[in-house]
Structure 1
């Protein structure tokens, strides 16, 4: 006997949210599957919040920095990345979450979710053409930067522990790796 997994569309997922079915649950939709998100430990919560405040200052006037908010992707996914750097569309986000064309890059802080972030989420983001995806490996205090999505995956992967990085979207802006890592 084989096991079938019920897949959900974005519309069905939104209906569940509106009906309150998913209240009090930390979940996200990944490729049509509702996935529980692990609770954030102290380092995860602290580091992602400090990076959020830092990026708000560095990217002021260039982009909107959203923390723990959904993004809507056409591959039946609505993840809630720790940080999403998106176009500042103001009130337009009252009617929809950022779409791939609105997203400059996404950052995930990972400890217990590291394998999911490095494997399935990496491919989900690459499939829809998000140009840049950063994973902060809390276990090793390193920043892993994925760039150049091609054929459903990123063709470039670079690891950093110090220095600065200029995101694709804002090549004139240098971002401190130490501040992203909070080391």
Structure 2
């Protein structure tokens, strides 16, 4: 029971601190303590979903803040974009980023991209959570999709030691 609660706490912390991933904890808890992998995976997913939802809602509140809107419109940089060697070297990543942003702008695609991000980690779920805060995605849909994706990911990772015979 303590391992399951700890998995939820580790999941919550890893939502805010990317350098403390939940995956190593899940592997260690299953391999050493013999804790049920599904319970650990669901607990870590719930903790991380709670954290990512707080990030989503906090970003949404900050984006809609009148103070921040005034600041951003007052200090918007203008002028030519950098060219030359660095400008051409950055063209491909910018084009890929532009395509990803275009997909995220479509409401039907938003939950799909969120689900892929939650399961695979690409694009990073932290970045996806922040970006999606500016879309009309409802918080309940965000939390449900994030929980589903993270549950799939964490349960699969927690089952790994049993699958390899550890």
Q: TM above 0.5, one fold?
A: no
TM range (shorter): under 0.3
Instruction: Return the structure number with greater strand share.
Output: 1
- Greater helix fraction, Structure 1 or Structure 2: 2
- Structure 2-normalised TM-score? 0.23
